[in-house]
């Protein structure tokens, strides 16, 4: 599995699935979540409302992931995951790692070959960018080391140079 980091807009990348750093309501928000909802169009919100009405009446738990169609995005699917919020005392790196591994599990289950991730929890949820990058890269590498599950490429698509630098450092570190 090939891992890369790039500066860019996750809503425009040509991959099978993009990961949304969602909140547990799945009903949109700010940052990456707001950008994905805006770019995907109103059908994404409708799909998320349906998930809340049916399978996730209490919202999506931290560290879990669920997929919807990508609608107006280049990506076929959006995989929503809820990162831990440091401001609420959610400081366990295992919860953060779970965002990446459960998203990959969902992507593999859909038959995705390429997946793009943002820096989950590095924004308003208060995690340090370098810690997010280390946890993310370690989790994705470990997931990929478990054998061929169909995912060939994971792209970390970051919207600031600071985030990109953190992920480049993590990718350069020994596995």
Q: What are phi and psi of 25, to 5 degrees?
A: -70, -25
7: which residues sit within 8 A by CB, 6+ positions away? 158, 159, 160, 161, 164
Catalytic residue of the set 33, 85, 148, 169: 33
Q: What is the dihedral of CA 132, 61, 33, 165, to 10 degrees?
A: 10
Active site residue 16: no
Q: Which two tokens stand for residue 168?
A: 């480049």
Q: What is the DSSP string of 151-165?
A: --EEEEEESSHHHHH
Alpha helices in 41-128 (DSSP H): 42-53, 93-110
Q: How far apart are CA 62 and CA 82, in angstroms?
A: 5
Q: What are phi and psi of 84, to 5 degrees?
A: -70, 145
Q: How far apart are CA 24 and CA 136, in angstroms?
A: 20
Which residues form the catalytic set? 33
């Amino acid at each position: 599995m090939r891992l890369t980091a790039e500066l860019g807009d996750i809503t425009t990348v040509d991959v099978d699935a993009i990961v949304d750093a969602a909140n547990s309501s799945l009903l949109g928000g700010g940052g990456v979540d707001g950008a994905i909802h805006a770019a995907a169009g109103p059908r994404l919100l409708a799909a998320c409302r349906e998930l809340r009405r049916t399978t996730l009446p209490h919202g999506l738990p931290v560290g879990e992931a669920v997929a919807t169609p990508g609608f107006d995005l280049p990506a076929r699917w959006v995989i929503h995951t809820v990162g831990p919020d440091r401001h609420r005392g959610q400081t366990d790196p295992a919860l953060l790692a779970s965002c990446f591994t459960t998203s990959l599990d969902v992507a593999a289950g859909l038959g995705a070959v390429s997946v793009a991730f943002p820096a989950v929890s590095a924004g308003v949820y208060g995690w340090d960018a370098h810690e997010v990058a280390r946890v993310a890269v370690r989790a994705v590498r470990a997931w990929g080391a478990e054998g061929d599950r169909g995912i060939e490429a994971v792209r970390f698509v970051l919207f600031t140079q600071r985030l990109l630098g953190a992920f480049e450092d993590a990718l350069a570190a020994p596995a």
